[in-house]
Amino acid sequence: MIDSQAIETGKKCLAAAKSQGAAQAEVYIENGKNYEVTARDGEVETLKNSESLGLGLRLFVDGRLGFGYTSNFDPASVDAFVGEVVALTKVTAADPHNQLPGAGILQSRNKAPETFDDKVASLSPAWAVDAAITMEKVAKGFDPRIKTVSSVGAGTYQYDVAILNSLGLLDHARSTYLWAWAGPYAADDAGNGQVAYFFDMKCFADELATPEEIANEAARRVTARLGADKIDSGHMPVVFSPEMAAGLAGGLAGAANGDMVFKQASFLHDKLGASIAPANFSLIDDPLKYHGTASGAFDGEGVPTRRLPIIEAGKLNLFLYDTYTASKAGTRSTGSAARSYSSLPRIGTSNLYIAPGDVAPEKIVGDVKKGLYVTSMMGRGVDTVTGDYSRGAQGFLIENGELTQPVQEVTVAGNLLEMLPKIDAIGSDLTFRGSTGAPTLRVAEMTVSGR
């Protein structure tokens, strides 16, 4: 919890910065408390418990930027700490875009979304111990072909942040979230093995899947993969499960990064206002989402947040900016600055998702005569500069509308500017497992490289 003493230290930093010649100053205070447990063979394997309290100071002197951070909140050390940051500022290169958000943009805040759960905050490590051991036991008991659980664990995180600046801003937020995962290993009679994972993360304890649900789903996934093999190469429809479609959302958001766009290092740099996807496709970043794990009323610079339709009804609607990159581009921040107390602001996303459609996921698969249903992927994914997309994939062959042979060691490839218009079905099953979500998606045709 950030107490009044920490806030007073922040105010002293601002006053000291002004007295030492800073034109503008900003303090970002963060207090985080985390524990995580993993288990093996019915016993605790690791238990990590940590708490941190830190202060980051950003200064601007004649267009020069200085930054430093500390975990020392002793009032007697404030002047020396600020002096070190001021000295650093004076030797950095001047840049007219180095500045705090304007006083006007810091006003008109939206109502803060609920992100703090007292129940999560009161959970002890014993909860995570019980969850991890239960998941391992349930997964092992699901099927005799499950030999072990390679990875299983649970944890919680709670944090408070406060931001103060020389323009008079003082704001505070706090959040919680908890998570659990299981990764069982299964092998068939020939000794051919597979590993699969299932993971869930929520802000509120009562919304997290139960340990039994997580273990059973992970076990179902791994046993379904047994017997996986390559398939013949070809061009075919590809159906992405919600978790894999979420990866496409992340790739698109990376290309909508305003700094990448300004540098013309994004394949979307000249597409603003253009229709790049079907009319039923929208990509949203919503920091005000109800119970979202990345929700917040202000960003890492104190700028009020708002729902951001990056792609709306198929049209590229906007790019994401923090204050610095917005100034370079001659526009306004979108409230997309992400940071910690030990880092400078950078462009990030909050609750990012592809909006759901109205097609049942069973029908999306059922309408495919022959194709690939993708449940797991590896590799880099999207090349932000070119839009090229290539990832190793695992999943199932679709034959006459049914999932049949499990598939592995294939590569799915295309280019996002060609893939997006070929999205011909969007599921009604929007799924969040953390801060990025998506429904089932079908791309009418992609290149699948197998044998």
Residue 18 has φ and ψ, to the nearest 5°, of -65, -40
Instruction: Provide the pLDDT for residue 194.
Output: 94
Give the domain ranges of the chain: 4-32+49-106, 118-163+172-223, 228-451
Instruction: Provide the pLDDT for residue 185.
Output: 97
4-32+49-106 topology per CATH: PmbA/TldD fold (3.30.2290)
Instruction: Provide the pLDDT for residue 48.
Output: 95
Answer for the pair 409, 193: CB distance below 8 angstroms, yes or no. Answer: no
Q: What is the C-alpha to C-alpha distance for residues 188 and 437, in angstroms, rounded to an integer?
A: 33
**One fold for 4-32+49-106 and 118-163+172-223:** yes
The average pLDDT across 245-259 equals 95
118-163+172-223: CATH number: 3.30.2290.10
Q: Examine the pLDDT at 368 and tell me if it is beyond 80.
A: yes
Instruction: Provide the pLDDT for residue 381.
Output: 78
pLDDT band per the 50, 70, 90 thresholds, residue 104: confident
Q: Which of 155, 195, 159, 194 is nearest to 175 (CA)?
A: 159
- At 31 the three-state DSSP class reads strand
The average pLDDT across 191-206 equals 94
Mean pLDDT of all residues in the chain? 95
